[in-house]
Amino acid sequence: MTAKQTVYHVSPSGERAAAAGVKWQVEGREGRRLLHEPHRTQKDAIDSARRHAQQHQPAQVIVHAVDGHIRTAYTYGDTPAAPPGERGRKAGERGGVF
């Protein structure tokens, strides 16, 4: 049986956090533990998310741009197979992996 993939999102923080100097956040779920880490820069948030993903494989890091769109994604370990209806679709297409 394949382990469930952990997904970490790197995204801009809300207005309240940004006012306090926290501009980016990492969110994800490691088993039952909910992860929510604030970071001052996107680079720091990406580095942290990638470290977590390497420790909790199979995992994926999805990096969002300031406007919320997906900028890039990193995958670690053997990922679970996509359901038959989602195979072969490109990222961003309706019903695709992202």
Instruction: Give CA–CA dist 74/59, Å, rounded.
Output: 8
Q: Rounded to whole angstroms, what are the CA distances from 18 to 4, 13, 46?
A: 32, 6, 17
Question: pLDDT of 12-69, one tens digit each?
Answer: 987 776 666 779 999 998 777 888 899 999 999 999 999 999 998 899 999 999 888 9
Q: What is the pLDDT of residue 18?
A: 66
Q: Which of 34-38, 55-59, 80-84, 86-90 is predicted with the least confidence, judged by mean pLDDT?
A: 86-90
Q: Give the distance between the most distant pair of CA atoms in the chain.
A: 45
Q: pTM for the whole thing?
A: 0.72
Instruction: Give CA–CA dist 10/69, Å, rounded.
Output: 11
